[in-house]
Chain A
Amino acid sequence: MREGQIRIPSGCAISGVFDRSGRRMSGDAIIRSMEVMHDRSNGLGGGFAAYGIYPDYKDYYALHVFYDQALARKECEAFLERHFDIINLSKIPTRKMKAITDEPLIWRYFVAPLPTRLADSQLDEREYVVKCVFRVNREIEGAYVFSSGKNMGVFKAVGFPEDVGRFYRLEDYEGYCFTAHGRYPTNTPGWWGGAHPFALLDYSVVHNGEISSYDANRRAIEMHGYTCTLLTDTEVITYIIDYLHRRKQLTLTEIASVIAAPFWQTIDRLPDDQQASFIYLRNVFASQLLTGPFSILAGFEGGLMALNDRLKLRSMVVGEKGDKVYFASEESAMRMIEPSLDHVWSPRGGEAVIVRLNGGNTSGC
């Protein structure tokens, strides 16, 4: 049994740290932050997303791929060669650990779309990459691309998150932003691809919750060319964010008011001009509304958005210290790595907390 064959409800722990100055920090801190929340996971999934970790290859898409067997790798690499210029390829360095077993082959490729193929496809470059990722995941048995952004990467496995972080030697990476996830599924998937974060291009999502709108969201997003293979909330939320941000060019604030839309009774109290835009968004993007409990950290190039469901049915706190902003399911997870926070608050349901690099590229955000 693996993800995608059945839908598995999960509880979770999430944590994130973002340095607005862009100063890079080691991945060690985020591991320690997750370790405190050990009991919020049950050892059946953990993972990290790290931004700013590949400065030497920042212009190339970093594809992280799981292979069940060598044959899948051969097939996948042949596909990648037909569609991309592969600048660099290697196994992702890992550490042998008792707590992490049954690892697949884990490879990393830095690639650029082949200019002729890209031109022939008549697609925008990012859409081209998305299409290729979907094709590998759908069509090549035993191959699974789980990270595809530039200058960022996802590292995930079956295990407790702190073990997963050490397995991937996260302390050897330096980035301006890390998010992390520990999973408490009610079932035993035992497949690494099903762990979180879930990512597409530079969008990554860690999520704690179980959205009741799942199948409404899934069927709606699949109409726009996305294929949901995992049957997880995180997958569908990532696609929704990609769809709204990249394809529909909504701002993050607008995205927040789509996926955690204010209640009509709140909208009714707003001045007319503001009302109009909320009504418009709720109407046009009705199928992208998420209901049920969630707290998510949505990472993207140069920024991070934290968001709770409209009723705040899942915990999430935010803390600040200088340029750094911390996010976690529990305050202890932030205090573990920064005991003297300047201030700590608990965002309201549906209230997006958006942080970006100072002076960074904020176009479209």
Chain B
Amino acid sequence: MAVNYYDPEYEVVRLDERCISCRVCERQCANEVHSFLPETGKMASDETKCVNCQRCVSLCPTHALKIVRSSNQYKDNANWSRKTMNEIYRQADSGGVLLSSMGNPEPYPVYFDRILLNASQVTNPSIDPLREPMETRVFLGAKPESIQRDDTGRIVNNLPPQIDLAMPIMFSAMSYGSISYNAHESLARAAEALGILYNTGEGGLHEDFYRYGPQTIVQVASGRFGVHPDYLNSGAAIEIKMGQGAKPGIGGHLPGRKIVDDVSRTRMIPVGSDAISPAPHHDIYSIEDLRQLVDSLKEATHYTKPVIVKIAAVHQVSAIASGIARSGADIIAIDGFRGGTGAAPTRIRDHVGIPIELALASVDQRLRDEGIRDRVSLVVGGSIRSSADVVKALALGADCVYIATAALLALGCHLCRSCHAGKCNWGIATQVPELVKRLNPEIGYQRLVNLMTAWQHEIKEMMGGMGINSIESLKGNRLMLRGVDLTAKELAILGIRHAGE
């Protein structure tokens, strides 16, 4: 066996006095870290294979396990970190591009954590959500320029197609293929129970899930996998995916081993073939081309579905968003650089794009400056981690947020960032049947409903504290925000004042 230049990242710590050798860890680890030694009756570990997904830790009935960062040390070096060195060893081994999954884990500033919310004191009352109505319903879509009336003077409904949500949160795009059938079913059922939407991602829509159509955003991405008229017409809205926060400027690659029978049928590509989404849409090389795709999709769906255009947050995001708003899109989705992914080149994920907070603030302000904010709704994603992030995003100017990583966490994901390996021990990012079955949608959907219900309660509490009893009065209400530990420039971009001002 060749020499491994890099050391194992983790150590499996097994507390001997607690381990009863029930072998649950062994049976649950698809990476084959744990094994049973019959001669001693004890468990053993191969730490080189551990990805720290925490499945064994969670299922160990005697809490005998923990996974810790390996205490092995390279010689101290402030410039060459162990991570950087290991990446070099891996590339020298493989000659390949480093791959990662889920969102950017690097220590860039998290602006949400430097923004604080307001509350009412004395001059106006806070409102108790347990005693008074506290409204979280939102509509997404373009608003009409003018009011029309019929002969009797009644207002004519001239609204373009809208999305009607019980709360300003949707599950963002995760394709069937990148995540499992059971994960998709959990999301679809939860969306239905919650009165919100989930998103097919670019992998088409499995035939079993057409019945969740009113809860579904159907995505059209550069690979056009699984796109056909019935698909487009089955959803509540159509999303054109131009970019993704985790990998702006590049396409996608779902390895052939994930293209199993069902996935192949849904994506309309042969079993075992790699599903490659080109970096650009090859029919969109400019903004006027986007308009044509928007119009084509509207034509194909008889102008009954709002069209979302999703972009990654990049440097010129406000100008791009302004262009999209003038291209017939009803909704713009912006994905920040911390957004998740099933697989992305590490260097792209960790170094391309900008934080969603800054992108959102500048897009919202630009669209207002240009007087076109009402033409589109804004949905933002890219690491919305809690109800507080939701409230802050709305106050910065979003109509709604997209969550995906938080939803996967609810299903068991522990952010081991190994989705691309296809051996997700939690049954989420895998197509291996014995792993997929680990996610029972009956449990999964309930956990998603629980999470969203909890967030909704918290959102109501925060709104009530601010004396706001309807979510629309939170939208763009930046006076409810104050910054801490931010520079004047950052405050200016965010359009908020510093705490104490």
Contacts and interface: CB of A to CB of B under 8 A. Distances in A.
A82 interface: no
A215 B480 CA distance: 8
A291 B470 contact: yes
A263 B135 contact: yes
B478 A215 contact: yes
B133 A216 contact: no
Nearest to A277: B155
A10 B478 CA distance: 20
Contacts of A224: 371
Given A264-B133, A283-B159, A293 B469 contact: no
A287 B478 CA distance: 13
Interface stretch (A64-72, A206-214, A321-329, A334-342): A206-214
B273 interface: no
B3 interface: no
A9 interface: yes
Name the residue in A249, A291, A292 with the highest tally of chain B Cβ atoms < 10 Å from its Cβ.
A291
A168 B475 CA distance: 41
B124 to A, nearest CB: 4
Contacts, number: 109
B332 interface: no
Interface residues of B, number: 39
Given A284-B144, A291-B469, A214 B477 contact: yes
A157 B472 CA distance: 34
Contact of A213 (B123, B143, B147, B477): B477
A186 interface: yes
Given A7-B479, A311-B132, A280 B368 contact: no
Contacts of B138: 286
Contact of B472 (A249, A276, A280, A289): A289
Interface string B121-140: 00111010000110101110
B120 interface: yes
Contacts of A223: 368, 371, 373-374
Interface in A234-250: 248-250
A310 B476 CA distance: 21
Nearest to B137: A264
A131 B294 CA distance: 37
Interface string B389-428: 0000000010000000000000000000000000000000
Nearest to B372: A223
A16 B469 CA distance: 28
Given A283-B139, A286-B475, A212 B133 contact: no
Nearest to A311: B132
Contacts of B72: none
Contact of A313 (B124, B154, B468, B478): B124
Nearest to B464: A212
A293 B125 contact: yes
Contacts of A289: 470, 472-473
Contact of A219 (B123, B162, B368): B368
B77 interface: no
A265 interface: yes
Name the residue in B132, B162, B468 with the highest tally of chain A Cβ atoms < 10 Å from its Cβ.
B468
Contacts of B232: none
A216 B466 CA distance: 13
A295 to B, nearest CB: 13
B470 A292 contact: no
Interface in A201-233: 209-217, 219-220, 222-224
Contacts of A17: none
Name the residue in A7, A9, A224 with the highest tally of chain B Cβ atoms < 10 Å from its Cβ.
A9
A11 interface: yes
Contacts of B368: 219, 222-223
A261 interface: yes
Name the residue in B371, B374, B466 with the highest tally of chain A Cβ atoms < 10 Å from its Cβ.
B374
A297 interface: no
B467 interface: yes
A131 to B, nearest CB: 15
A316 interface: no
Contact of A276 (B157, B470, B480): B157
B474 interface: yes
Given A216-B474, A219-B476, A280-B157, A291 B123 contact: no
Contacts of A211: 124
A9 B123 CA distance: 6
B473 A290 contact: yes
Contacts of B157: 276, 280
Nearest to A293: B124
B124 A10 contact: no
A121 B146 CA distance: 22
Given A215-B477, A223-B374, A248-B147, A9 B139 contact: no
A291 B467 contact: yes
Nearest to A248: B147
Interface of A: 7, 9-11, 186, 209-217, 219-220, 222-224, 248-250, 254, 261, 263-265, 276-277, 280-284, 286-287, 289-293, 310-311, 313
13 contacts: A10-B123, A212-B468, A213-B468, A215-B479, A216-B477, A220-B476, A248-B146, A248-B147, A264-B135, A277-B155, A289-B473, A291-B470, A310-B469
| The 8 residue pairs across chains A and B that have the minimum distance between CB atoms | A213-B473, A215-B479, A212-B467, A9-B123, A286-B472, A216-B477, A210-B124, A291-B473
